[in-house]
Amino acid sequence: MPACANHREGHVSPMETRPLPVFDRKACMACKMCVDVCPVSCIGVEEAGGTGDPHGYPFLASPDACTRCGWCAEDCPVAAVSLAAA
Ligand code: SF4
Ligand code: SF4
């Protein structure tokens, strides 16, 4: 029986094929719940006012550290986080 394709040398692991979170600034209310729930602290917050907006919005600061657990999307109260295909 052939080995699973994901375990062949040179192929990415199943974890790496899972989607990364994407933040929808228009829907986001800058509550920072996603920042607090992230188990590896890879979500950063833009400096408030830095982009001409009074809110500090979250962004994926360390994609390499993200475990793609989806907790940020699950906890967002306004569905402003989605996990898009990488
Ligand atoms: S998917 Fe998980 S690890 Fe990645 S940013 Fe969201 S909460 Fe953090
Ligand atoms: S939990 Fe949702 S609304 Fe709150 S800061 Fe994160 S993306 Fe924005």
Q: What is the CATH number of the domain that holds 30?
A: 3.30.70.20
Question: Per the confidence metrics, is the pTM higher than 0.85?
Answer: no
- Alpha-carbon distance of 74 to 84, in angstroms, equals 14
Nearest CA to ligand 2 atom 6: 34
Q: What confidence tens digit (pLDDT) does each residue in 56-79 have?
A: 899 999 999 999 999 999 999 999
Hey, how many other C-beta atoms are within 10 angstroms of the C-beta on 72?
25
Answer yes or no: is 26 within a domain: yes
Answer yes or no: is 58 within a domain: yes
Answer yes or no: is 11 within a domain: no
80 burial type by CB count under 10 A (0-12 exposed, 13-18 middle, 19+ buried) = buried
CA of 28 to the centre of ligand 1 (A): 16
Q: Taking the CA atoms of the chain, what radius of gyration do you get in angstroms? A: 16
Which residue of 28, 35, 71 sits with most ligand 1 atoms within 8 Å of its CB, as the best mutation to test the pocket?
A: 71
Answer yes or no: is 80 within a domain: yes
Mean pLDDT by 10 residues, the chain (86 residues): 46 69 95 97 86 82 96 97 78
Answer yes or no: is 3 within a domain: no
